[in-house]
Structure 1
Amino acid sequence: MDKKIITSWSLLSLAMFIICDVLMGGNSSDITKTAVFAIVLYLVLIIGGLRNWRLAYHFLLFVVGIYTLTMIRIVFIFATEHNSGVSILTFILAVLGIIVNLLWYRIAAKQIKTDYVRIVKKNVKK
């Protein structure tokens, strides 16, 4: 699988999370800290994956999962609390973010499987 495709989907996933986080509101310094942390985390793992660091996509799998749970939380808040302050736009973007992340998993699974095979072959003694 082409790592540039995984990188593109990872950046789209990051953008969806940041947009949802900003639209949810809250303290602006908290939003800034969260966004900077997410950007650094994603970029370090994306660069690691592009440079053939063996576990980069495995850690990115975990990170995307955490941010997917955040978007699922937004959907549940919208669905259960009528006066939650979650706008319909935030709800729609959270649903789209979940879809993007699920597609990311589908695309990245092939690369992760390739990495596992490479790691096993390297470590198996002949």
Structure 2
Amino acid sequence: MSKSKIALVSLCSLIIFIICDIFMSGNSSDLIKTIIIAIILYFGFNVLGYLNWKFAYHFLGFVIGVYTLSLFVIINTMIKASGVPSLNRSIAIIIAIIGVIINLLWYRVAWKQIKIDYVRIVKRNIKKK
């Protein structure tokens, strides 16, 4: 059940990132590349997590951390952007804040699975000795 929750929260995180990326993008070719890379990273590490690969959720946590930093950049940019209409700035800030909250929720949900993976790795290494 925990892996399903992780996948669901990961999907929400991915959707929020894509929305923010579309909202902030200027060049459509870079936008498509960024979205494709994000989809590959999110789904790839979730699939590897379902297949019990040792560090799948660790790497996904790193990816989500990087994307969380980009959401903070969006918030900072929109606060400082004076040439953007107030409604657009407010919407971008709200979506980015929701993304940060979802990403923090991902860490809370994934922590249980990461602990389970650590225990499994330690037990396997103890049996080898």
Alignment match, 1:7? 7
State the distance in 2 between where 1:56 and 1:18 align.
21
Q: CA deviation at 1:81?
A: 3.0
Alignment match, 2:62? 62
Work out the number of aligned pairs and report it: 126
State the distance in 1 between where 2:110 and 2:75 align.
24
Q: Kindly indicate whether the alpha-carbon contact (under 8 Å) linking 2:2 and 2:110 is maintained by their aligned counterparts in 1.
A: no
Q: CA deviation at 1:91?
A: 1.1
Q: CA deviation at 1:54?
A: 1.1
Q: Kindly indicate whether the alpha-carbon contact (under 8 Å) linking 2:71 and 2:96 is maintained by their aligned counterparts in 1.
A: yes
Alignment match, 2:35? 35
Unaligned segments of structure 1, at least 5 residues = none
Alignment match, 2:20? 20
Q: CA deviation at 1:83?
A: 2.6
Alignment match, 2:47? 47
TM-score of the pair, normalised by structure 2:
0.91
TM-score of the pair, normalised by structure 1:
0.93
SS of alignment partner, residue 87 of structure 1: helix
State the distance in 1 between where 2:79 and 2:111 align.
31
Q: Kindly indicate whether the alpha-carbon contact (under 8 Å) linking 1:13 and 1:97 is maintained by their aligned counterparts in 2.
A: yes
Q: Kindly indicate whether the alpha-carbon contact (under 8 Å) linking 1:77 and 1:84 is maintained by their aligned counterparts in 2.
A: no
Q: Kindly indicate whether the alpha-carbon contact (under 8 Å) linking 2:71 and 2:99 is maintained by their aligned counterparts in 1.
A: yes
SS of alignment partner, residue 35 of structure 1: helix
Q: CA deviation at 1:79?
A: 1.9
Q: Kindly indicate whether the alpha-carbon contact (under 8 Å) linking 1:45 and 1:59 is maintained by their aligned counterparts in 2.
A: yes
RMSD: 1.5
Identity of aligned residues (%): 51
Q: Deviations over 1:25-57 (max 9, x none)?
A: 210010000000100111110100011111100
State the distance in 2 between where 1:25 and 1:92 align.
17
Alignment match, 1:112? 114
Q: Deviations over 1:13-36 (max 9, x none)?
A: 011000000001210010000000
1:70-85 mapped onto 2 (5 Å cutoff): 70-83=70-83
When structure 1 is superposed on structure 2, of 96-105 and 72-81 the one drifting more is 72-81
State the distance in 2 between where 1:38 and 1:10 align.
11
